[in-house]
Chains A and B, each alone.
Chain A
Amino acid sequence: MSDEAKGQTLPLVEVTVDGETVRAPEGATLLDACRAKGADTPTLCYLETLTPVNACRVCVVELEGSRTLVPSCSRAAHPGAVVHTDTPRVRHSRKLVLELLASSVDLSLANGDMKRWMDYYEVDAEKFGPSSASTAAGDRDGRRPGHHHAPDGKTAETVAQPVKIHDEMYIRDYSKCILCYKCVEACGEDAQNTFAIAVAGRGFDARISTEFDRRLDDSACVYCGNCIGVCPTGALMFKSEYDRRETGEWNELQQRVTRTVCPYCGVGCNLDLHVQDNEIVKVMSPIDHSVTHGHLCIKGRFGWQFVQNREET
Chain B
Amino acid sequence: MVDPRRTSSAQWADVWLGLDVGTDIALANAVAREIITQGLVHRDFIEHATTGFDKYRVAVEPYTLEHAEQITGVRGEMIRDLAHAYAGAKKAQLCWTLGITEHHNAVDNVLSLINLSLLTGHVGRSGSGLNPLRGQNNVQGGGDMGAIPNKLPGFQDVENNQLRQKFERAWNCTIPQKNGWHLSLMFEAMERGDLRGLYVIGENPAQSEANVEHAIHLMEGLDHLIVQDIFLTKTAELADVVLPAAAGWAEAEGTVTSSERRVQRVRKALDPPGEARDDVEILCELAKRFGHDWGHPTAEEIWDEVRSLSPMHAGMSYARLDALGGIQWPCPDEDSQGSSYLHGRLWKRPVEGRLAPFSVVDHLPPADELTDEYPIRLTTGRRLDSFNTGVQSGGFQSPLRRAETLDICESDGRRLGVADSERVRVRSRRGVIEMTVRYTDDLRPGLAFTTFHFPDEAETNQLTNPTWDKKSGTADFKATAICIEKIKLAVGTGG
- Please report A residues at the B interface, Cβ cutoff 8 Å: 1-4, 166-169, 193, 216-217, 222-223, 256, 258-268, 270, 273, 275, 278-280, 289-291, 297-299, 302-311, 313
Q: Is B264 an interface residue (CB 8 A)?
A: yes
Given contacts A260-B249, A280-B270, contact A266 B232 (CB under 8 A): no
Q: Is B99 an interface residue (CB 8 A)?
A: no
A212 to B232, CA, bound (A): 45
Task: Flag if A270 contacts B264 (CB, 8 Å).
Answer: yes
Q: Is B171 an interface residue (CB 8 A)?
A: no
Given contacts A2-B340, A261-B137, contact A290 B392 (CB under 8 A): no
A56 to B471, CA, bound (A): 59
Task: Flag if A299 contacts B393 (CB, 8 Å).
Answer: yes
Task: Flag if A268 contacts B231 (CB, 8 Å).
Answer: no
Q: Which of A193, A266, A298 contacts B385 (CB 8 A)?
A: A298
Number of interface residues of B (CB under 8 A): 53
Task: Flag if B258 contacts A307 (CB, 8 Å).
Answer: no
Q: What is the CB-to-nearest-CB distance from B340 to chain A, in angstroms, rounded to a whole number?
A: 6
A182 to B326, CA, bound (A): 28
Q: Which of A1, A263, A267, A313 contacts B258 (CB 8 A)?
A: A267
Task: Flag if A168 contacts B396 (CB, 8 Å).
Answer: yes
Given contacts A217-B400, A268-B326, A273-B250, contact A310 B135 (CB under 8 A): no
By secondary structure, the A interface counts as loop
A245 to B353, CA, bound (A): 62
B326 cross-chain contacts in A, Cβ below 8 A: 268, 291
A94 to B465, CA, bound (A): 67
Task: Flag if B250 contacts A260 (CB, 8 Å).
Answer: yes
A292 to B432, CA, bound (A): 42
A278 to B273, CA, bound (A): 10
Q: What is the CB-to-nearest-CB distance from B113 to chain A, in angstroms, rounded to a whole number?
A: 18
Q: Is B303 an interface residue (CB 8 A)?
A: no
Task: Flag if A307 contacts B247 (CB, 8 Å).
Answer: yes
Q: What is the CB-to-nearest-CB distance from A234 to chain B, in angstroms, rounded to a whole number?
A: 21
B139 cross-chain contacts in A, Cβ below 8 A: 266
Task: Flag if B398 contacts A307 (CB, 8 Å).
Answer: no
Q: Nearest B residue to A312 by beta-carbon distance?
A: B273
Task: Flag if A2 contacts B270 (CB, 8 Å).
Answer: no
Q: Nearest A residue to B391 by beta-carbon distance?
A: A306
A217 to B396, CA, bound (A): 15
Q: Nearest B residue to A222 by beta-carbon distance?
A: B384
Using an 8 Å CB-CB cutoff, how does the interface string of B255-271 with A read, 1 for contact, 0 for none?
01111101011111111
Q: Which of B276, B391, B394, B399 contacts A169 (CB 8 A)?
A: B399
Q: Is B397 an interface residue (CB 8 A)?
A: yes
Interface stretch (choices B14-22, B56-64, B126-134): B126-134
A307 to B270, CA, bound (A): 9
Task: Flag if B340 contacts A310 (CB, 8 Å).
Answer: no
Given contacts A3-B126, A268-B260, A268-B262, contact A263 B248 (CB under 8 A): yes
A299 cross-chain contacts in B, Cβ below 8 A: 384-385, 387, 393
Q: What is the CB-to-nearest-CB distance from A77 to chain B, in angstroms, rounded to a whole number?
A: 27
Q: What is the CB-to-nearest-CB distance from B323 to chain A, in angstroms, rounded to a whole number?
A: 13
Task: Flag if A305 contacts B396 (CB, 8 Å).
Answer: yes
B265 cross-chain contacts in A, Cβ below 8 A: 259-261
Q: What is the CB-to-nearest-CB distance from A176 to chain B, in angstroms, rounded to a whole number?
A: 22
Task: Flag if B395 contacts A306 (CB, 8 Å).
Answer: yes
Q: Is B208 an interface residue (CB 8 A)?
A: no
Give 23 pairs: A residue, B residue, CB < 8 Å, sorted on A: A1-B337, A168-B397, A169-B399, A217-B400, A222-B400, A223-B399, A223-B400, A266-B135, A268-B257, A268-B262, A273-B269, A280-B250, A280-B269, A280-B270, A290-B325, A291-B258, A298-B385, A299-B384, A299-B393, A302-B396, A302-B398, A304-B250, A313-B231
* Interface hits, B133-182 → A, CB 8 Å: 133-137, 139-140
A223 to B134, CA, bound (A): 22
B290 cross-chain contacts in A, Cβ below 8 A: none
Given contacts A223-B398, A306-B394, contact A263 B250 (CB under 8 A): yes
A259 cross-chain contacts in B, Cβ below 8 A: 265, 267
Q: Nearest A residue to B252 by beta-carbon distance?
A: A260
Q: What is the CB-to-nearest-CB distance from A180 to chain B, in angstroms, rounded to a whole number?
A: 25
Q: Which 9 A-B pairs have the closest CB atoms?
A: A266-B134, A268-B258, A306-B395, A258-B269, A266-B259, A263-B249, A217-B399, A305-B395, A3-B126
A291 cross-chain contacts in B, Cβ below 8 A: 258, 262, 325-326
A313 to B270, CA, bound (A): 18
Q: Is B434 an interface residue (CB 8 A)?
A: no
Q: Nearest B residue to A286 by beta-carbon distance?
A: B325
A216 to B400, CA, bound (A): 10
Using an 8 Å CB-CB cutoff, how does the interface string of B385-414 with A read, 1 for contact, 0 for none?
101000111111111100000000000000
